[in-house]
Amino acid sequence: MDEFVQWKVVGPSDFGIRTKTYDKLKSAKVDFGKACKIVDEDGGGKAILYARTTLINEWIIIQELEFDDDEEDEDEE
């Protein structure tokens, strides 16, 4: 992953920072972990870690966690 120069974390609204960009992978991974924890505890939502190789290139999805609690609701009916 050393080829990437910038990272972005997108998390649930209650994550505090819906979208934030980082210049260091370690900081991005910490906040991505926090976003994943919130998604896991809520049982719904999405957390995504993006990266890009230059400041003008498109973002690439590196990791994603998504829960859809609609399936659990259908089982309860």
Encode the chain (77 residues) as per-residue pLDDT tens digits: 458 999 999 987 755 557 888 999 999 999 999 889 888 887 778 899 999 999 999 999 999 988 765 555 444 54
- 1 lies in some domain: no
Map tokens 């089982």 to a residue: 75
In the chain, the number of structural domains is 1
Distance of CA 36 to the CA centre of its chain: 7
- 67 lies in some domain: yes
Q: How many Å apart are CA 62 and CA 52, to the nearest integer?
A: 10
Instruction: Give the closest residue to 22 by CA, choosing from 3, 4, 7, 5.
Output: 7
- 11 lies in some domain: yes
Domain of residue 31 covers 6-71
> For the CA atoms of the chain, what is the radius of gyration?
14
pTM: 0.76
